Amino acid sequence: MPHADAAYVPSGLSKQQFWQHIYEQLAALLEGQRSWVTNLANASSLIYSSLLAYTPHFGDGERAVNWCGFYVDSPLFPTPRYVQVDPGQQPQPTARKLLLAPFCGKPACQLINVTPGKARGVCADAFLQAQTKLVPDVEAYPGHIACDGQTKSEIVCPLILRRQGENNVVVGVLDLDCLAPGGFDEHDVKGLNRIADLVVNACDW
């Protein structure tokens, strides 16, 4: 099957069937690949394209999903190979941040501060609290970061890496934005949490 066909969505699916369909398509697409960059790129494309093809809910003009992507904890990104050191300078403590990772949609903010006490926004809260955030009205959410003024609602799932015999680690978040208020519901929370688990377990971090 050509890779692009993974985003084909049959008509007449209920929301539960729709999320199960995406889960199965994504599982097949990620098989045999462990790079988080590659897998997050294909995951954001598959989810975004499938949502836009799911016409009664997300594909219709003013109800459309307008952004789908990932933010990942900054230490997981490659570090500069050569660091210029000023001999007279003390090293400065750096802020903890999430960096923009693969996504589909318009350009978005590159980094999100997740330093406890300084963090703000939906992604930072989902990451620090390891909890999915369903936001029916972004303007009513304290500290919401507006990357696109057209976004009206949002859902953010933490990417939780569960390790046997060790503490869980949150490696990033999966973020979806919608042009309509109340664009996402509890079915989407459930469906997307399963997708987030699938993606985390398909990658080496």
C-beta of 39 vs 175, nearer to ligand SME: 175
Distance CA 12, CA 86 (A): 63
Phi and psi, residue 66, nearest 5°: -115, 0
- Site for ligand SME, rule CB under 6 A: 67, 108-109, 112, 121-124, 144-145, 147, 154, 175, 177
Least distance to ligand SME, CB of residue 104, Å: 11
Measured over the CA atoms of residue 78, residue 38, residue 20 and residue 10, the dihedral's sign is positive
- The helix or strand, by DSSP H or E, that contains position 66, with its residue range, turns out to be strand 65-73
Least distance in angstroms from the C-beta of 85 to ligand SME? 33
- Smaller CB distance to ligand SME: residue 76 or 108? 108
Pull the structure tokens for residue 61. 């003009």
> Nearest approach, Cβ of 14 to ligand SME (angstroms)?
27
- Strand, helix or coil for residue 11: coil
Nearer to ligand SME, 57 or 144 (CB): 144
